[in-house]
Structure 1
Amino acid sequence: MVLFNKCCCFFRLTTGGMILGWIGAIESLLVVILTTIGLTHVPQIMDHLRNETRAATTIKMEAINETHVSIFRRHRSEMTAEDEMFLERGMYAILTLNLIVNVVTLISSLLLITGSIKRNSKYLLPWLVCEALCLIFSSFAAISKSFEMLIYNENFGEGFLTIFSILFLVGVEVYLYLCVYSLYQMLKTEEKNQRQMQLNEISNQASHKETNDGLPPYAALS
């Protein structure tokens, strides 16, 4: 895997890790706040949707024949109780999932900041795992969107520009991931060298004690 010595060609890897951690933490915190507000206002959102549906129904009813009113109501008009329940549960499920994902992202971003400051590679692992999953999802979404644009978009120039933009964003995500992975490998190497130095020091102390073994030196006896 490709490793880097700097992040974005300017910053040290530790500085880049802290910057990415703060950006991710702030973004996730904002989403958590907005998602929490959305969860507490689902009933109000449902009331708004009901009012919008009824208003649209009133307008459409005026434009159709009385003989088709019953058919219209049965197929195109107000939401049934089952539809409302399904929609409400779906909103709760999506918002809850979004809340969980962003809480995990917030925690991993804070750990990335901590690991960059303390120079501890273990703190970087949660961020690397979360970002790897996001990259997999983003890659599949980008491929799907690209095929969709190529097949259904009649404007070739617009479709090409959209695909290029998507691939560029995915490429930036991959690059930033490699920067943090490079930081992880650098910190692991530092920790390995420190452990080796500690072992060498312990070994030297042990050999020094064995040499002296508590007895006076031979030169002093003579």
Structure 2
Amino acid sequence: MMEKVCCMRLSTAGVVLGWIGVVASFIGTILLATILGNADVIAKSILGNMTDGAAKYDEIHMGLIVSCSVYLAIVVLNLLASGMLILGTMKERHLMLLPWLINSGVGLLFSIIYHFVLLILALTSAQIDRIVPVLIVTLIGLGLHIYIYCGIYSLFKQIQLTREQQQPLINQSQGAEVPNQGNSYPSYTKI
């Protein structure tokens, strides 16, 4: 288990990464909503800049709408997961970190698949001098993503362990205050 992420305690790193995710997702939501609102103008502009007449306006417009809608859904899910990461870290609730871990894990899986395909293209292509620099830069990003994921997973395990250690203490002290009343429901009498 890690003790620190980017020279920060795990709880601080969880809050900082959560806020970075919230701000980035909020900006992405605004940008994608603006693109969807102006999809007609953007599609006409793309069609006007194309030299060959291979694509039609409807195809460009539909592709723009579908891709932006899918990406908007992903960005909104990331916004919610980052918000849950902040709340889970601050309230020390390990289950609230799960949406971020699942969301980031799926993104990490797609990133690994992307890098594997890019590596295969680099090995089979004659344009290896163009693909290798992109591959190096994206592999650095993948390494950072894995490092951050391991840090938040360590935070998840740390909070889970702390809560499991505190739970028996809470259960034992409840019955000690009132000797005749344990963990049962109170009894009421009708008047």
Q: So what's the TM-score if we normalise by structure 2?
A: 0.85
- Summarize the Cα distance change of 1:93–1:184 in structure 2 as closer, same or farther, 3 Å threshold: same
Instruction: State the partner residue of 2:138.
Output: 166
- Summarize the Cα distance change of 1:89–1:154 in structure 2 as closer, same or farther, 3 Å threshold: closer
Instruction: State the partner residue of 1:87.
Output: 60
Higher-Rg member (1/2)? 1
Q: Which has the higher contact order (CA 8 A, sep 6+)?
A: 1
- Write the letter of the residue equivalent to 1:170: L
Instruction: State the partner residue of 1:17.
Output: 14
Instruction: State the partner residue of 2:169.
Output: 197
Encode CA deviations 1:173-209: one digit per residue, 9 max, x unaligned.
1110010011011111111111110122235557x55
* In 2, Cα distance between equivalents of 1:145 and 1:44: 33
- Write the letter of the residue equivalent to 1:91: L
Question: What pairs up with 1:200-215 in 2 under 5 angstroms?
Answer: 200-202=172-174, 204=176, 209=180
Report the count of equivalent residues.
Answer: 181
* Contact 1:22–1:113, Cα closer than 8 Å, also in 2: yes
Does the alignment pair 1:151 with 2:151? no
* In 2, Cα distance between equivalents of 1:165 and 1:46: 31
Which stretch of structure 1 is more off in the superposition, 108-117 or 35-44? 108-117
Structure 2: runs of 5 or more not aligned: 182-191
- Write the letter of the residue equivalent to 1:45: I
* In 2, Cα distance between equivalents of 1:31 and 1:51: 26
Q: So what's the TM-score if we normalise by structure 1?
A: 0.74
Instruction: State the partner residue of 1:61.
Output: none
* Contact 2:29–2:76, Cα closer than 8 Å, also in 1: yes
* In 1, Cα distance between equivalents of 2:44 and 2:132: 41
- Summarize the Cα distance change of 1:6–1:78 in structure 2 as closer, same or farther, 3 Å threshold: closer
Aligned-residue Cα RMSD (Å) equals 2.1
* Contact 2:44–2:57, Cα closer than 8 Å, also in 1: no
Deviation of the 1:50 alpha carbon = 3.5
Deviation of the 1:49 alpha carbon = 2.8
Encode CA deviations 1:142-170: one digit per residue, 9 max, x unaligned.
111111122214556x6544433332221
Question: What pairs up with 1:42-81 in 2 under 5 angstroms?
Answer: 42-53=39-50, 56=51, 77=53, 79=55
